[in-house]
Chain A
Amino acid sequence: MSHHIVQAENLHYTYPDGTLGLNNINFRIDHGESVALVGSNGAGKSTLLLHLIGCLTPTEGNIRIGDYPLNKKNLKAVRRSVGMVFQDPDDQLFMPTVFDDVAFGPINLGLPDADVEKRVMTALETVGVSHLAKRSPHKLSGGEKRAVAIATVIATTPDILIMDEPSSNLDPGSRRRLISLLKTFTHTKIIATHDLDMALELCGRTIVLNKGELAADGETKALFHDDNLLEASGLEKPLTMQGCPFCSKEPIPVIAK
């Protein structure tokens, strides 16, 4: 199944005002892989994601999604196979009701009404919010909004799921539900996040960005053990990998410094 591959080759991007966004990024993500994209604020995570869905065009280099190089001609086909969950659900939920919002993608794919309805209900059931179908998005809680935002994307049955900070602004319970939900997805996943504990649970592979450059790319556990890399990239060991400050005899690394 070669068509779920995401590949970046020698990617460069400079913002119109001259700020460097991305510099020489190379990676290849295979079918079914779950990859975390981590880095400090302004490291280029969101910029990279916007490239993967064709919202920004690289100044140099190219991206391949599946068999297609990402360009204007293939944009539609690419967006059909790539689903993006935005950081702020309010940006993603723009229709009057939850049902209409989830139906937006399938209708634009040209599905007949009956199929649209079926798809919407399946998507809502998958994320566990089918009871919200008739509600207005602006009346939902943060956790519900996030779940609906994910439903809007999976209703278009993408092969590749891209998420920008999916666990931000969620209470611990909602975050846990989100993680359990994402574990059940078999899509190729690319998750940009600061939540390294979630990355540890969900993603076998991690790409670390630092100032627009690829600082590391490898197995998540191995990278999170590399204190120098984490410190240089403005990150910190996930809490689950740190000693317990109350019962561990070893002082936790942060205090030791």
Chain B
Amino acid sequence: MANLHNNLFDIFYMDTLAAGDTWLHRLDPRAKVLTTLIFVATVVSCGKYEVSMLIPFILYPVFMVTLANLPILYIIKKMALLMPFAFFIGIFNPLMDKNIIARIDLTGIVVWIETIGLNNIMGLIDFNGLKGITGTIDVSGGWISFFSIMMRFCLTVGAALILICTTGFDSVCMALQRFGVPGPFIVQLMFLYRYMFVLIDEASRMLRARALRTFDTGNIKHNLFGQMIGQLLLRTLDRAQRIHLAMCCRGFDGHVRMVRKMNFGMTEILFVAGWSLVIVTFRMYNIPVKIGTLISEIP
């Protein structure tokens, strides 16, 4: 439980980061939200077996982390925390999809083979062979799509984390509201963020109370677990009702309004347009393959 608690405190560290004062922090939240959306949509739109095409996309997170002075280790740790989800989505691919679509030649490494027929070699880097090693390793489509999923996960989740760390959760919500996302969704998001901590606190108090009166250190028995979850739900409902009352007392009418000065100026236009151009270029031209072709001079 202590671990869960620490992780949550860690999440709120993002608020501290968002209070930074670089020009990226000062940028209108809408510009950052828009760029992140374009980035995520483009990365996700890449083909199932794309790996090399995804590599240049790393430029955007690197740019943001460097110029916004974000602690890279913190962001990697947060990504690692979510990694299992992507891992279990992708790990079945190697079992399902056993078609060989790439062959790594140990004398001259084939970087990428696009089609299943093994005849369309798109890039080749000649390492002049590794001394004394010959032969080939066949790679199935499943493994390649697995790596593709993991890369996409790192890029998209990284971009989202960077967005929150440079903008702050509430400003992201306000930007989404300005983009026309319906009010109830915004309220949901904001309340999720605000009351996550209160809920975990409530749950950890219950678990502590249980731990102090169960003298064996075993896990919670399943029937007790059900009761505790039910209890937690009831407490949550109670609290939700009280919060709603508090909101009604101050004139809540279904919309949350905040005083936020937003200014979409020249810097914002340049930021969005510049990055959109770069991102779309990465998507349309497979840059690593182009470079590989250029170096190895194999068309």
Chain A interface residues (CB < 8 Å from chain B):
50, 53, 55, 76, 79-80, 82-84, 86, 88, 90-92, 94-97, 99-100, 103-105, 107-109, 113, 116-117, 134, 136-139, 152-153, 156
Query: What is the chain A residue whose CB lies nearest that of B240?
Result: A91
Q: Which residue of A lies closest to B251 (CB)?
A: A108
Binding site for A on B (CB under 8 A): 12, 15, 19, 168-170, 190-191, 193-195, 197-198, 239, 242-243, 245-253, 256-259
Q: List 27 A-B contacts (CB under 8 A).
A: A53-B245, A53-B249, A55-B245, A79-B249, A79-B250, A84-B249, A86-B242, A86-B246, A88-B242, A90-B239, A91-B242, A91-B245, A94-B194, A95-B256, A96-B168, A96-B170, A96-B190, A96-B193, A97-B170, A105-B251, A107-B258, A108-B250, A108-B253, A108-B257, A113-B259, A116-B259, A138-B197
Partner of A107, one of B170, B239, B248, B259: B259
Classify the interface of chain B: helix, strand, loop or mixed: helix
- For B168, what are the chain A residues with a Cβ–Cβ distance below 8 Å? 96
How near does chain B come to A168, taking the closest CB pair, in angstroms? Answer: 15
Q: How far is the CA of A84 from the CA of B12 in the complex (A)?
A: 29
Pair B239/A91 contact, Cβ less than 8 Å: yes
15 further A-B pairs in the complex, CB-CB below 8 A; given A95-B256, A103-B258: A50-B245, A55-B245, A55-B249, A92-B243, A95-B190, A95-B194, A100-B170, A100-B258, A108-B251, A108-B253, A108-B257, A116-B259, A138-B194, A138-B197, A139-B12
Known: A50-B245, A97-B170, A108-B253. A138 touches B259 (CB 8 A): no
Q: Hey, which chain B residues are within 8 Å of A117, CB to CB?
A: 259
In angstroms, Cα B221 to Cα A138, docked, is 32
Q: Is the CB of B247 within 8 A of A96?
A: no
With a CB–CB cut-off of 8 A, which chain A residues contact B256?
95, 104
Closest A residue to B239 using CB positions: A91
> Which B residues touch A94, using CB under 8 A?
191, 194-195, 243, 246-247
CA distance A50 to B197 in the complex (A): 27
8 Å CB contact of B250 from A99, A104, A116, A137:
A104
Give the A-B contact count at a CB cut-off of 8 A: 84
In whole angstroms, what is the CA distance A183 to B257 when docked? Answer: 32
Knowing A95-B194, A134-B19, say if A79 contacts B251 (CB, 8 Å).
yes
A226 to B194, CA, bound (A): 46
CA distance A50 to B247 in the complex (A): 13
CA distance A88 to B241 in the complex (A): 13
In the complex, are the beta carbons of A138 and B251 less than 8 A apart? no
* A170 CB, nearest partner CB in chain B, Å: 19
Shortest Cβ gap from A55 to chain B (Å):
5
B170, B195, B252, B257 interface centre (most CB from chain A within 10 Å): B257
Which residues on B sit within 8 Å (CB–CB) of A50?
245
Contacting residues, chain A, for B253 (C-beta < 8 A): 108
Please name the residue on chain A nearest to B198 by beta carbon: A90
A208, B245: Cα distance in complex, Å: 25
CB-based nearest B residue for A96: B170
Question: A50–B170 Cα gap in the complex (Å)?
Answer: 31
A138 and B198 form a contact (CB under 8 A): yes
Task: Tell me the bound Cα distance from A139 to B19 in angstroms.
Answer: 15
Cβ of A139: which chain B residues have Cβ within 8 Å of it? 12
A55→B190 contact, CB < 8 A: no
List the A side residues contacting B12 at CB < 8 Å: 136, 138-139
CA gap between A90 and B259 in the complex, in Å: 22
What residues of A have a CB within 8 angstroms of the CB of B15 in the complex?
Answer: 136
Q: Which residues of A contact B195 (CB under 8 A)?
A: 94
Chain B's nearest CB lies how many Å from the CB of A84? 5
Distance from A57 Cβ to chain B, minimum over Cβ atoms (Å): 13
Complexed CA–CA distance, A86 and B243 (Å)? 9
Please measure, in the bound complex, the distance between the C-alpha atom of A218 and the C-alpha atom of B243, giving whole angstroms.
33
Q: A residues within 8 A CB of B247? A: 94, 104
Q: Give the distance in Å from the alpha carbon of A83 to the alpha carbon of B256 in the complex.
A: 19
What's the nearest-Cβ distance from chain A to residue B252, in Å? 7
Partner of A91, one of B246, B250, B257: B246
Partner of A96, one of B194, B197, B243: B194
Please, how many angstroms separate the alpha-carbon atoms of A134 and B260 in the complex?
13
- For the complex formed, measure the closest distance between the CB of A63 and the CB atoms of chain B, giving whole angstroms: 15
- Which of A91, A99, A103, A152 has the most chain B CB atoms closer than 10 A to its own CB? A91
Which residue from chain B places its CB closest to the CB of A97 in the assembled complex?
A: B170
